[in-house]
Amino acid sequence: MLDFGKILVDGGIISILISFILIGMLWYNPRMFLNKGDYPPDVIAAVPPKTDEERRMSIILGIPFFIVALGVPLYSALTFNRQIGSEASFWLLFWHTFGVVFIPFLWDLVVLDWWMFCTVTPKFVVIPGTEGFAGYKDKVFHLRMHTRGIVVLFIGSLFISGVVWFL
């Protein structure tokens, strides 16, 4: 049986950690996210591409993000597997893991993208020279990008569940 409390707590932990990482990266330099899926097309079209230094820093600063995004769900699935013992099935582990990663997915969409990015639009998320662009208020853009991300959540959950199931 799924432990919804554990899903909420572990998903909440990821949400908080990832928020600090993403906001820190934006504060450092919003151009770290100058990618097709992260900034709206009007903003991307108006600024030069990332420099080599920005690409390098995006990778370096992105490492903690990927450690949290993979490590916490893996840890959660491992501890959930120990908690339920012989009742563990691959699909139970999958749904647990999917629930854990879906919470920060929703948090990112609703709080970070729709509220912070689109509604509040603090100065530190705006790439210099693009102030006032319509894309900053485009909630549909963020919904479309997140909809594509569900596939990544599904595949990642399958992978993590498989690793835990075979351990």
* Residues 36-84 pLDDT 10s: 788 999 999 999 999 999 999 999 999 999 999 999 999 999 999 999 9
Q: Cα separations (Å) of 71 from 23, 111, 131?
A: 20, 22, 36
Question: Residues of the chain with pLDDT > 90: what percent?
Answer: 92
What pLDDT is recorded for position 88? 84
What are the structural domain ranges in the chain? Answer: 4-166
What pLDDT is recorded for position 37? 80
Least confident of 5-14, 19-28, 84-93, 103-112: 84-93
Tell me how far apart the alpha carbons of residues 133 and 30 are, in angstroms, rounded to a whole number.
15
Residue that the structure tokens 């959950």 belong to: 157
Any residues with CB less than 8 A from the CB of 123 and at least 6 apart, and which? Answer: none
Number of neighbours of residue 2 by Cβ within 10 angstroms: 12
Q: With 80 as the cut, is the pLDDT of residue 28 above it?
A: yes
Q: With 90 as the cut, is the pLDDT of residue 143 above it?
A: yes
* Residues 114-130 pLDDT 10s: 999 999 999 999 999 99
